[in-house]
A and B are shown apart, each in its own frame.
Chain A
Amino acid sequence: MTSKQKYRVALFVFTAPTLLFFSIMVVYPILQTFQKSFFNWDGLTPATFNGLDNFRRLFQDDDFWVSLKNGLIFALVLVVYQLGLGTVLAIALSNKKIFGRKFFKTTYFIPVVLSSVVVSQLFIAIYNTDGGLVNSLFTALGINYQQAWLSGEHSSIWAIAFTNAWQNLGVHLVLIYAAIKSIPEQLYEAATIDGASFWRTHWKITIPLLGETYKFCLIMAITGGLNAFQNMFVMTNGGPGNISYTFTFMMYKAAFRSGEYGYGSAAAAFLVIECLLFTILINKFVAREKISY
């Protein structure tokens, strides 16, 4: 056996268990979901093939369009808040002149380790119409803007998305911070010698060199937004009506509440396709060339 063949055998031996596990736990259920999406099935009785009926119904369902819109809004809030604010905070925390950097780094990460249920309950109180923090703040500022944040047709999904964005900011902050710390110091020294300002330095050096990190963060934030579930389950139970539905919630309703597993699988299949599409687009257009220092 040549060394190349030995290398291949070793590669197979070490990766096979993981691949097998991944195939059973991830790939097989996804394929099964796609298969079931072509059936009329209540989860208990034998399924009957109904072709593309579930997908046709999907596009005519009011829940579908609400879920699509909400998923995109959720993703947008996560991207803007977690990547935008995450970048600003990471740049600030990477500056050695900032006092109490370690304290702030820890503080921003604390919500990540909290349970989603706890955070959701906390924000239910914050968004409470009567005496909640947000409405009280408006009152204190003399602004007459009292809202039913979690029940309003236009405010509900934004309020829930913000809860999730707030909780998981720390993950993106740590990723971006770590990426900034790995940028060689001499690049900044060269910029300083050339007389570049603080903002220009970061705009021309830091941001472009974070391309690879942003790619990963974008995929995490967008797919996380599209398949959001926990927060709305705890905070609004998808309601009132369907105003805070996402595809995962729609899938939950169809499969577990209506007993329409085939239709629920179609919603899940669409979600998988949507997430894949965004992942492909991000991979195609963001940080296409590998950065090396």
Chain B
Amino acid sequence: MKKMKSHAMAIILLSAMVALSGCGSSNKGADKEVSGNKEEQKPETVQTVKLKFYAQYSGQEKAAYDAAKEAMKKIMPEVEVEFEVAAQDDEQKIKTYAAAGTLPDIFFASSGLIETLKNSDNLLILDDAVKANDIESKLNETSKAMLWNKDGHSYAVPNVGQWASVLYYNKEIFDQNSIKVPANYTELLEAVTALKAKDITPLALFAKEKWTGVQLLDMAIVGSDPGGLKKLDNGEGTFADEAYAQGAKKLEELTKAGLLSKNAFNTTYDDAVAQFTSGKAAMLLNGAWAMGALEEGLGEGKIGLLYTPFTDADKVDSVQWNISGGGFNQGFAVSKNTKYPEVAAKYAALISLEFNKQRVIQIGDPNPVLVEDVQPEKGFTPIQQEYAKDAVNFKSMTTFAWGFENAKFKTVIEDNSQKLLAGQAADDFIKDMNKELERVRQ
């Protein structure tokens, strides 16, 4: 009986093997046929180069990436790009890739990341690609500085312009409550007090993201010193300097007057935007990149821009175009370990320009890096037109927190500016910061 069973099992297994191998061989045949046809149809072409591209391939920028990729197919048809969506993780993933020696061929790098990867010899110098493709002549004057690192080399070709950091304000709230739109610090303080008295949150700050507090402080400083916090990041100055101490004291005063909601430090971007667009908050801090979405949320003609509302009244005329925000030498960079350094460098350089062009066309970016006059598909909204007009006047720019080169300074200023906005005395803030500055500069 046992023997019969085992024979039966063997027969079943054998039949199954034959059936499966039959299926396999017929499939193989089909594959061969298909591939054979393909080979017949395919003309003689150059070898395809596959590049991995780590980028913010999501949200509204996805359309710009797709269009840029399509445009690049005409310029470099031999390159096939595969996007990997970048994580919003304090650049941990890209640094882990670098540590493991598996950096993607092309990736977005800000100044801070460039500094880290440069020191660890992970970045390809793009000087040759920049010169060979005449990149500099295609960039407008304000964007040329973004192409070069302080060491004189190019590590990334700018893919976006230098956005300003602004306070957006809801025109209706100011009108309806007869509050003057602040043109200087005294008026800002008065506006904050008046708004608070009417139970309206003066400023919606998504301070759960620590960079927003830093930017507010930077805005409070640039009215007196155009170098802003970028100057401290570069190793110059301290909070003992008048402009910096004054900036901190202004924030202390505004905080006491009720500038922020007590929930500001648990507030996400979406929450802050909801407060602003629903009329619960009168102002919102963000980069100028958000103007399109905010105008859409609040309604056309209802939103205004403030660049330097923290400036003393007597200095307004002279410093009104000293702007907080911006950034230097950031954009698409190339891994030193890429298998195709020349192709990747050329591709990164050219797609940077193409991507910026598509940002204008697809999402109406009014802050281009190109000399070429590109117009958006849907035209500019009123606020985008206003910004484009103002941007021509910008005299100086600082940076956003992710553009700081000294990562230690970045974390210290992020934590301490949050403390200041949570109610810490300005004198204590200045003392703490000066102590930390000594350490981070060692």
Q: A: which residues have CB within 8 A of B?
A: 42-45, 62, 124, 127-130, 148, 150-151, 153, 235-243, 253, 256-260
Instruction: Say what secondary structure dominates the interface of chain A.
Output: loop
Q: Tell me whether B119 and A239 are in contact (CB under 8 A).
A: no
Q: Tell me whether A236 and B265 are in contact (CB under 8 A).
A: yes
Q: Tell me whether A151 and B424 are in contact (CB under 8 A).
A: no
A244 to chain B, nearest CB (A): 10
Residue of B nearest to A241 (CB): B419
Q: Which residues of B contact A130 (CB under 8 A)?
A: 261-263
Contacts A150-B265, A239-B210, A241-B415: A44 and B116 contacting too (C-beta < 8 A)? Answer: yes
Q: Name 18 A/B residue pairs within 8 A (Cβ), A-sorted.
A: A44-B95, A44-B98, A127-B266, A128-B263, A129-B262, A130-B263, A150-B263, A151-B263, A151-B265, A237-B265, A238-B415, A239-B422, A240-B265, A240-B419, A241-B422, A242-B415, A259-B95, A260-B408
Q: Tell me whether A124 and B424 are in contact (CB under 8 A).
A: no
Q: What per-residue 1/0 map shows which CB atoms of B86-124 lie under 8 Å from chain A?
A: 000010100100110000000000000000110110100
- Residue from A45, A148, A240, A243 within 8 A of B207 (CB atoms): A240
Q: Tell me whether A44 and B210 are in contact (CB under 8 A).
A: no
| Cα A128 to Cα B261 with chains together (Å) | 10
| Cα A151 to Cα B407 with chains together (Å) | 25
Q: Which residues of B contact A259 (CB under 8 A)?
A: 95, 116, 407-408
Residue of A nearest to B117 (CB): A44
| Cα A43 to Cα B264 with chains together (Å) | 33
Q: What per-residue 1/0 map shows which CB atoms of B390-430 lie under 8 Å from chain A?
A: 00000000000000000110110011101101101000000
Q: What per-residue 1/0 map shows which CB atoms of B306-340 lie under 8 Å from chain A?
A: 00000000000000000000000000000000000
B95 to chain A, nearest CB (A): 6
Q: Tell me whether B92 and A240 are in contact (CB under 8 A).
A: no
The 6 closest A-B pairs by CB, nearest first: A241-B419, A148-B262, A44-B120, A240-B422, A129-B262, A240-B418
| Cα A70 to Cα B97 with chains together (Å) | 33
Does B208 have its Cβ within 8 Å of any Cβ on chain A? yes
B120, B264, B418, B419: which has the most chain A beta carbons within 10 Å? Answer: B418
Q: B: which residues have CB within 8 A of A?
A: 90, 92, 95, 98-99, 116-117, 119-120, 122, 207-210, 261-266, 407-408, 410-411, 414-416, 418-419, 421-422, 424, 432
For the complex with contacts A45-B119, A239-B415, A240-B207, 12 further pairs of A-B residues with Cβ separation under 8 Å are A43-B99, A128-B266, A129-B262, A150-B265, A151-B265, A236-B265, A240-B265, A240-B418, A240-B419, A241-B419, A243-B419, A259-B116
B106 to chain A, nearest CB (A): 19
Q: Tell me whether A42 and B408 are in contact (CB under 8 A).
A: no
B214 to chain A, nearest CB (A): 12
Q: Tell me whether A258 and B419 are in contact (CB under 8 A).
A: no
| Cα A128 to Cα B210 with chains together (Å) | 19
A127, A235, A239, A260: which has the most chain B beta carbons within 10 Å? Answer: A239
Residue of A nearest to B112 (CB): A259
Q: Tell me whether B95 and A241 are in contact (CB under 8 A).
A: no
| Cα A238 to Cα B92 with chains together (Å) | 18
Residue of B nearest to A125 (CB): B266
Q: Which residues of A contact B210 (CB under 8 A)?
A: 237, 239
B119, B263, B421, B432: which has the most chain A beta carbons within 10 Å? Answer: B263
Q: Which residues of A contact B261 (CB under 8 A)?
A: 129-130
Q: Tell me whether A42 and B415 are in contact (CB under 8 A).
A: no
Q: Tell me whether A150 and B266 are in contact (CB under 8 A).
A: yes
Q: Tell me whether A148 and B122 are in contact (CB under 8 A).
A: no
Residue of B nearest to A259 (CB): B407
Q: Tell me whether B422 and A258 are in contact (CB under 8 A).
A: no
Q: Tell me whether B416 and A241 are in contact (CB under 8 A).
A: yes
